Structure 1
Amino acid sequence: MPSISIKAIVLVHWILVMWTTLGWIPSSFLYPNLSVLIVGFWAVADKQSVDAVFMFIVMQIGSVLVDIVTLSLYFPPYNAVGQAKFSAGMAILNLILKPFSTILLYQMYSDRGGQYNINFGPNTPSYDQIDGNPNDSATKQGSSAYFPPPPTAQQES
């Protein structure tokens, strides 16, 4: 994968959002995209933060859905002026670039030490064994706790 900085990703999306505001812009497009850019500026400013990049990824994915709905509901009509067509085209270009920038952001997220693991299934440990031997017979039988057998009448006398 090419090494592109977060600054370049934020700059490209900022330019496209600003060009979208030239002629055609509902607030349902502007506010989510400006929120994404603000979190992107945070990711640029805090170079060590894993949370900033993760929030940037999550908001970028969420804004894709908002952009699709906004474009489908408020797309300018066929006889619209050139400004409205240009800004709608920039909104479409911004939407097309978001999946690619999200992939690059995920690479930067993992480079900064972020891990996103989803563990479903029976092999997922629900706890860490902090005492006892991990090779204990109780754990080999699949028991999560060891209970000694109850005393019998022979043992009591």
Structure 2
Amino acid sequence: MPFYGMLLGVMPSISIKLIVLIHWILVVWALVGFGTSAYGWCNITALAIGIWAIADRQSVDALFMFIMMQLFSIVVDIVILAVYFDGRGTGVYKFSAAMCIINLILKPFSSVLLYQMYRDRGGEYNINFGPTDYQDLSGNRTNDAFSGVVEEDTEDEKSESLIPK
């Protein structure tokens, strides 16, 4: 069993509602004095998709989108902290930056929990970007990629085809 499989096996069962609530509180506190509009838009969009995942309990797509937005917002948070946080400022500024950092630290853990919920809902382990079967020129579908390949002629047939008739 791979290492991440062992980690996912011992994760506690936490509701999506709790994950969204914790991240919402941290985002609101981060927006008090530190947050930029990019930080706000990215995180509020991720939380809106999380609300969609709460509302549609059977949807694998909503949970997958929430995971992807969480992972994307990790990158955005790192860039925003690197660009805008200089360590100086008022107490409110430092508090907001601290909430942004705590939110950033919690996102990988919540992403792993969301991935476990994604698997529990029936999500696939791999991502398919296209059809898994092939269609030949006659319109027949097959899983065999080489079903329509014509075998090469033997040497005798090649020499006969070169002789003009």
Asked whether the 8 Å contact 2:49–2:65 carries over to 1, the reply is yes
State the partner residue of 1:31: 41
The SS at the match of 1:101 is: helix
| 1:6-155 equivalences in 2 (<5 Å) | 6-78=16-88, 80-117=89-126, 127=134, 143-145=146-148
> What TM-score, normalized to structure 2?
0.73
Aligned residues: 139
Q: 1:145 is matched by which residue type in structure 2? A: G
Matches of 2:123 and 2:45, distance apart in 1:
22
Identical aligned pairs, as a percentage? 55
Matches of 1:40 and 1:131, distance apart in 2:
38
Q: 1:105 is matched by which residue type in structure 2? A: L
* CA displacement 1:36-88 (0-9 Å, x = unmatched): 0100011011111111000000111111111100000011442x111110010
Alignment CA distance shift 1:83-1:51 (3 Å)? same
Unaligned stretches of 5+ residues in structure 2:
1-10, 158-165
Alignment CA distance shift 1:12-1:144 (3 Å)? same
Cα offset, 1:24, TM superposition: 1.4
Unaligned stretches of 5+ residues in structure 1:
120-124, 133-138, 153-157
Cα offset, 1:126, TM superposition: 5.1
Instruction: Flag as ranges the 4+ runs of structure 1 deviating above 3 A.
Output: 125-128, 145-150
> What TM-score, normalized to structure 1?
0.76
* CA displacement 1:71-124 (0-9 Å, x = unmatched): 00011442x1111100100000000000000000011011111103158xxxxx
* RMSD (Å), alpha carbons: 3.0
